[in-house]
C-alpha cells in the first residue's frame, strides 16, 4: 500500500556552525558559535518519535562519512594539511537536511509506474557539492527494490537547488528522466522579494501536501498566474495564503512557518502542521495559525517540535526530511524506524556523538577520530556495513 514516508536525516556527529551557506540567514548569523551535535541528533530523534505518535510512517537516512577524505584527495590534499576553509567544507554535516537529497516522483505520476528519485548535485555550494556520491550510495541501498529507480545527479553546471541557484534546465531534465507528463508539470519561479528577504529555498515560503498549497503572499514571482495555472490543472486545489499584512516575510523566514511538515493524519484525513518552537514564539505567526485552526481551513492540528540546533544552522522540520510516497514494505527495513530502532540509535548517539564542537576544534585529530568512530559504531549496529566504504 502506498503511503507517504518521511525520511529524516539523522544529524551527524560533525554538526558544527561554520556558516558555509551564503543567503541562509540563520547559518551566517550563527557562524562561529559552539554547536551541540549530541543534543542536535537527539532533538531530531524526538521529532521522528513525534511523527510515529501521529501514526505516520517514518524513515531515516544515516550520516555520511565526514570528513570527506575522497573529496579532499581530489583536491590534492589531506584533512590534516588542508586549509581551514576546506576542512570546514569537508566536515560539513549538511546532509542532515534530507529534503535536499533528491527530487522524488511517486509511482502514480511516472510513465513506468515506478517511484523515481534523482539525487541532487547541490553544485552551487562547495560544502554540499560532494554529498551526492554518499547520498546516491545510501539511496541505492534503501530503495534497491524494483519498485524504485534511483538516478545519479543532473550533471553540473546545472544547479538543482535553491531559488537563485536552481536552473530550469535541471528541473526539466528531472521531469523527463522521471517520465512525468509535460501537461501536468509546472515550473514556477520564486519571487525576488522572497529571495532578497532570505528565502534561500522555496520551502521557506511555501509547502504543499495533497490538494493543499500553504503559501506566503510573496512566495511566487507571478502569484496570480501560478494560482490560476494550479487551479486549471488541479481544480480541487485549496490554496491557503498567509497575507503579508498578517505575517511579514521576515517573521515567516525567521520562524520557519512554511518550513514545517504539512502531513495528512491517518483516520479522518485531516492535516497537521509540524512546526518548530520558533513559530510558536513568534506572535504574528502563532496568532495567524490559531485563527486558521479555529476556522474551517484544511490545517486542523498544530504540532510543535524542538529542533533548535538544526534551526540555528538554517534548517527547520521540513529541511530534515525527504518525502517519498511508496509501500514501506518495498523499502529496505534498515531505513524504516519504530520506537525500538530509535531507542537503539539514541543510545549510540548519547554515548558516541561529541557533546560540543567549538570553531577552533575542527582541526583537532581527536575530534575527527571521535566523529568517524561514532558513525562507524552506528552503521555497524544498524548492520549497514556496505555504507562504511563511502
Do 371 and 378 meet the contact criterion of CB atoms below 8 Å apart? no
The active-site residue out of 161, 217, 278, 303 is: 161
Contacts (Cβ under 8 Å, ≥6 apart) of 162: 23, 124, 125, 200, 201
The active-site residue out of 131, 178, 292, 319 is: 319
273 phi, psi to nearest 5 deg: -115, 120
| DSSP codes joined into one string, 202-254 | GGGTEEEETTEEEEETTSBTTHHHHHHHHHHH-TT-EEEEE-TTTS-HHHHHH
Task: State yes or no: is 201 an active-site residue.
Answer: yes
Do 178 and 105 meet the contact criterion of CB atoms below 8 Å apart? yes
The active-site residue out of 127, 201, 216, 292 is: 201
**C-alpha–C-alpha distance, residues 135 and 116, integer Å:** 15
- Coil, helix or strand at residue 344: helix
C-alpha cell at 199: 528565502
Task: State yes or no: is 227 an active-site residue.
Answer: no
- Coil, helix or strand at residue 270: coil
Q: Where does the chain have alpha helices with state H? A: 25-29, 37-53, 69-74, 84-91, 126-129, 132-142, 168-177, 192-197, 223-233, 249-255, 277-280, 283-294, 308-312, 339-352, 365-381
Active site residues: 161, 201, 319
Amino acid at each position: 500500500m502506498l503511503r507517504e514516508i518521511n525520511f529524516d536525516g539523522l544529524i551527524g556527529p560533525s554538526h558544527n556552525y561554520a556558516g558555509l551557506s551564503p543567503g541562509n540567514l540563520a547559518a551566517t548569523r550563527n557562524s562561529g558559535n559552539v554547536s551541540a551535535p549530541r543534543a542536535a541528533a537527539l532533538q531530531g530523534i524526538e521529532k521522528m518519535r513525534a511523527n510515529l505518535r501521529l501514526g505516520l510512517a517514518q524513515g531515516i537516512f544515516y550520516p555520511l562519512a565526514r570528513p570527506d577524505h575522497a573529496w579532499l584527495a581530489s583536491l590534492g590534499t589531506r584533512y590534516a594539511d588542508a586549509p581551514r576553509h576546506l576542512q570546514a567544507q569537508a566536515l560539513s554535516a549538511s546532509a542532515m537536511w534530507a529534503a535536499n537529497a533528491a527530487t522524488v516522483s511517486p509511482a502514480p505520476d511516472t510513465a513506468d509506474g515506478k517511484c523515481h528519485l534523482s539525487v541532487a548535485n547541490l553544485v552551487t555550494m562547495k560544502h554540499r557539492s560532494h554529498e551526492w556520491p554518499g547520498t546516491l550510495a545510501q539511496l541505492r541501498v534503501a530503495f534497491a527494490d524494483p519498485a524504485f529507480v534511483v538516478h545519479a545527479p543532473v550533471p553540473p553546471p546545472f544547479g538543482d537547488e535553491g531559488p537563485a541557484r536552481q536552473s530550469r534546465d535541471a528541473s526539466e531534465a528531472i521531469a523527463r528522466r522521471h517520465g512525468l507528463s509535460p501537461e501536468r508539470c509546472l515550473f514556477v519561479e520564486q519571487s525576488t522579494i522572497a529571495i532578497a528577504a532570505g528565502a534561500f529555498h522555496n520551502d521557506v515560503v511555501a509547502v504543499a501536501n495533497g490538494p493543499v498549497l500553504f503559501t506566503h503572499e510573496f512566495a511566487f514571482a507571478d502569484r496570480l498566474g501560478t494560482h490560476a495555472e494550479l487551479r486549471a490543472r488541479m481544480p480541487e486545489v485549496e490554496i491557503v495564503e498567509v497575507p503579508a499584512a498578517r505575517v511579514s516575510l521576515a517573521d515567516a523566514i525567521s520562524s520557519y512557518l512554511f518550513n514545517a511538515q504539512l502531513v495528512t493524519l491517518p483516520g479522518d484525513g485531516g492535516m497537521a502542521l509540524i512546526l518548530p518552537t520558533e513559530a510558536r514564539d513568534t506572535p504574528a505567526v502563532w496568532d495567524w495559525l490559531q485563527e486558521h485552526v479555529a476556522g474551517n481551513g484544511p490545517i486542523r492540528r498544530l504540532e510543535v517540535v524542538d529542533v533548535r540546533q538544526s534551526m540555528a544552522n538554517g534548517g527547520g522540520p521540513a529541511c530534515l526530511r525527504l518525502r517519498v510516497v511508496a509501500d514501506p514494505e518495498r523499502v529496505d527495513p534498515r531505513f524504516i524506524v519504530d520506537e525500538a530502532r530509535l531507542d537503539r540509535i539514541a543510545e549510540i548517539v548519547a554515548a558516541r556523538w561529541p557533546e560540543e564542537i567549538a570553531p577552533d576544534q575542527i582541526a583537532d585529530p581527536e575530534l575527527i577520530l571521535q566523529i568517524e568512530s561514532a558513525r562507524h559504531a552506528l552503521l555497524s549496529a544498524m548492520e549497514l556495513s556496505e555504507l562504511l566504504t563511502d
